[in-house]
């Protein structure tokens, strides 16, 4: 088995079904298995997936484990040389897994790769990022970054300063599409992806851990995926999820800056948030 595709579903039957169907429609010349983890959905019977897609490996969790633990539950059943974590609100636009597989076969220093993500209307999503730094926060507070040349802003921050049209090595990428060799798991604590966060910021942490092992994180624009973006999150708890993301990001930054730099970063970050809130008023 070349690739194990792990999808976590929580009350997104229609989106997840479209995601799985896109795999059958687009993937060729690659041996794949699809592992679907249902996180105790109450929208419908998880067995409905098996009735439509009898060949998938369906794992039914008795409780909602969140994104990180749900993926690890699927990974534990994976047989592939590579693992692809694919969000349930994604659809393949081309044979993206084959692009990823071929690239990583030829570039063994790459520990994780991702693709060009697009909204349903075709607009690009800026999923290629750098880890935030004290310098970055200071530049945004002043904001001196506006005076920097375009290439310098791209180098420092990527995000929307990078046009996402060429291959590039970055620091972290969204968890919507993460393709990596299964052997990397053996080098991670506990032999699995970190489960520090229920959801949000786990993708940043995973990339950081992989980079700590000496691998690169690479963006491949040739591989294309449609991503609804937050299609698997409920709009009812939008404020709660935003607060969760902010809290988790702060916890992650403390991992990067375990010394005095954390306190400097935190002061700058909170000052910037207060300034933004003041401006909005």
Q: 45-56 pLDDT, tens per residue?
A: 999 999 999 999
Question: Above 80 in pLDDT, residue 231?
Answer: no
Q: How many domains does the chain have?
A: 1
| d(C-alpha 237, C-alpha 129), whole Å | 26
pLDDT at residue 233, as a whole number: 53
- Range with the lowest mean pLDDT among 73-77, 201-205, 269-273? 269-273
Question: Above 60 in pLDDT, residue 235?
Answer: no
Range of the domain at 219: 3-127+164-233
Supply 88's token pair. 């349930």
| pLDDT mean over 60-82 | 94
Classify residue 253: in a domain, yes or no: no
Cα-based distances in Å from 260 to 53, 134, 265, 266: 53, 12, 9, 10
Question: Above 80 in pLDDT, residue 211?
Answer: yes
Classify residue 147: in a domain, yes or no: no
Classify residue 255: in a domain, yes or no: no
Classify residue 201: in a domain, yes or no: yes
Supply 93's token pair. 């636009």
Classify residue 273: in a domain, yes or no: no
- Range with the lowest mean pLDDT among 132-141, 183-192, 241-250? 241-250
pLDDT at residue 238, as a whole number: 56
| pLDDT mean over 28-50 | 96
pLDDT at residue 220, as a whole number: 98
Residue 194: which CATH number?
Answer: 3.90.550.10
| pLDDT mean over 94-108 | 98
| pLDDT mean over 113-137 | 92
Q: 126-180 pLDDT, tens per residue?
A: 999 999 888 877 777 777 777 888 888 898 889 999 999 999 999 999 999 999 9
- What percentage of the chain has pLDDT greater than the value 90? 65
pLDDT at residue 241, as a whole number: 54
Classify residue 261: in a domain, yes or no: no
Supply 131's token pair. 């880890």
| d(C-alpha 147, C-alpha 71), whole Å | 42
- What percentage of the chain has pLDDT greater than the value 70? 92
Nearest to 78 by CA among 177, 182, 172, 149: 182
- Cβ contact 1:55 at 8 Å: no
Mean pLDDT taken over the chain: 89
Read off the pTM.
Answer: 0.89
- Tell me which of 214 and 229 has the higher pLDDT: 214
Classify residue 136: in a domain, yes or no: no
- Range with the lowest mean pLDDT among 89-93, 146-150, 174-178, 223-227? 146-150
| pLDDT mean over 218-241 | 76
Classify residue 248: in a domain, yes or no: no
């Amino acid at each position: 088995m070349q690739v194990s595709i792990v999808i976590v579903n929580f009350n997104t039957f229609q989106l997840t079904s479209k995601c799985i169907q896109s795999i059958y429609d687009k993937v060729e010349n690659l041996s794949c298995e699809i592992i679907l983890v249902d996180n105790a959905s109450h929208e419908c019977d998880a067995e409905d997936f098996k009735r439509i897609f009898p060949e998938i490996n369906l794992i039914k969790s008795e409780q909602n484990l969140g994104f990180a633990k749900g993926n690890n539950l699927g990974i534990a059943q994976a047989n592939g040389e590579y693992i692809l974590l694919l969000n349930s609100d994604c659809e393949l636009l081309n044979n993206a897994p084959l692009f990823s597989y071929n690239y990583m076969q030829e570039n063994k220093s790459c520990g994780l790769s991702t693709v060009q993500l697009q909204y349903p209307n075709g607009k690009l999503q800026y999923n290629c990022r750098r880890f935030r730094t004290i310098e970055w926060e200071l530049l945004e507070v002043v904001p001196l970054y506006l005076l920097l040349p375009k290439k310098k802003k791209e180098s420092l921050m990527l995000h929307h300063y990078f046009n996402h049209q060429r291959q590039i090595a970055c620091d972290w990428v969204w968890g919507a599409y993460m393709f990596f060799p299964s052997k990397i798991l053996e080098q991670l604590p506990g032999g699995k992806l970190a489960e520090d966060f229920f959801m949000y910021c786990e993708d940043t942490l995973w990339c950081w851990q992989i980079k700590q092992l000496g691998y690169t994180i690479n963006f491949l624009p040739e591989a294309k995926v449609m991503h609804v973006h937050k299609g698997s999150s409920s709009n009812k708890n939008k404020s709660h999820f935003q607060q969760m993301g902010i809290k988790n990001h702060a916890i992650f930054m403390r991992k990067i800056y375990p010394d005095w730099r954390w306190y400097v970063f935190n002061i700058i970050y909170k000052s910037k948030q207060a300034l933004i809130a003041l401006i909005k008023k």
